[in-house]
Amino acid sequence: MIRVRDLAKHFKVHKRPPGLAAALKSVIHRTYTTVKAVDGVSFTIERGERVGFLGPNGAGKTTTLKVLSGLLHPTSGEVSVDGHRPHKRDAEFLRRITLVMGQKQQLIWDLPPAETYALNQAVFGVSDADFAKTMAELSSLLDLEALAQKPTRQLSLGERMKCELAAALLHRPTTLFLDEPTIGLDVAMQVTIREFVREYNQRHDATVMLTSHYMDDVVALCPRVIVIDGGHIIHDGDLRRLVKTMMPDKRVSFTGTVAPDQLARLGRVVPADGGRTSIEVPEDRLREVVGHLLGLDAVHDLAIEDPPLEDVMRKLFKDHKPAEAAATPAPAAEAAS
């Protein structure tokens, strides 16, 4: 269980304008500004939940995950993960968690992943029997057989991420912090990683906290989302309800041609690609509009969907901005991301 109360993480950042004069001046007199990367964040995540942690770049996502995994000291507030205070990084805590960062790796670059697995087995004190069992399970879920013996540097990005996940999960952590685990991966590999995370969560009742810029990851994996912007939480709750509140209209798409004026009467036309036509329709008119469209000979392959999560997020951040700007000055940069 993860419990966060009024978490704040502020960074003191040295600031100087460009130019030689400013550089010389900064030797004698340094000016610092305080960046509030995370500012008064509270939430609770129960054991076994899968939660998406969303926000634009510099919102405070990575900082929060680093605080939760013990890499950063909180400036203030209370954080507890399975009853442990993360920044103390006691051995028992480290055995219960894992942090996977899509941008950083723990695999030893010039050796096969099997060597990192052996190292992790030793440092986490995993028994031979447990190691064999976990390895067999991870191998079958991630199809690692052929990869574990190849030098890491010869693996593709996707293969490396699969091996990275295996290395991160060998000690069977019950809390997973996943920071952009699918970054840079192709669609097929993203799906593999997603399915694996869901499977691991269900088999081990593991808590998963995920950040991703790929909204498909979030839609597929996380029934609940926490949205953070400017260091503050702006939404915490059910993903479907968020979509419904922010963009209540359904998106109806189809192939075929309908006269523009007729289309405009049915709903708001939205740009779509792939030769399809899309309109947004209020839920109470959905039956009528779909009935009408299905009656037209030119309309084929009709689909009704929620608006994409990207659009929902864009609207959420846009709606949130004025209040945010009035409350605190926007941070210059997220120092720890």
Q: How far is the CB of 248 from another protein (least distance, A)?
A: 39
Q: How far is the CB of 100 from another protein (least distance, A)?
A: 10
Nearest to 170 by CA among 141, 194, 211: 141
Closer to another protein at the Cβ: 159 or 164? 164
Q: How far is the CB of 50 from another protein (least distance, A)?
A: 21
Q: How far is the CB of 73 from another protein (least distance, A)?
A: 5
Closer to another protein at the Cβ: 47 or 89? 89
What tokens does 240 get?
A: 């479907």
Closer to another protein at the Cβ: 98 or 190? 98
Contacts with another protein, residue ranges (CB under 8 A) = 11, 63, 66, 69-73, 87, 89-91, 94-95, 97-99, 101, 104-106, 108, 110-111, 115-116, 118-125, 151, 335-336
117 within 8 A of 167, measured Cβ to Cβ: yes
Closer to another protein at the Cβ: 132 or 325? 132
Nearest to 242 by CA among 308, 181, 288: 308
Please give the distance of CA 164 from its chain centroid, rounded to a whole number.
17
Q: How far is residue 284's CA from residue 246's CA, in Å, rounded to a whole number?
A: 16
Closer to another protein at the Cβ: 122 or 272? 122
Edge-first strand order for the sheet with 250-255 is: 268-270, 277-281, 250-255, 300-305
Closer to another protein at the Cβ: 208 or 243? 208
DSSP secondary structure string for all residues of 242-284: HHHHH--SEEEEEES---HHHHHHHSEEE---TT-EEEEE-GG
300-305/277-281 β-pairing: unpaired
Q: How far is the CB of 299 from another protein (least distance, A)?
A: 53
Q: How far is residue 160's CA from residue 166's CA, in Å, rounded to a whole number?
A: 10
Nearest to 43 by CA among 32, 51, 35: 51
Q: Phi/psi of residue 4, each to 5°?
A: -125, 125
Q: How far is the CB of 329 from another protein (least distance, A)?
A: 20
- Please identify which residue in the block is written with the tokens 């059910």: 238
Half-sphere exposure of 223 (CA within 13 A, CB side): 8
Closer to another protein at the Cβ: 32 or 330? 32
Q: How far is the CB of 90 from another protein (least distance, A)?
A: 8
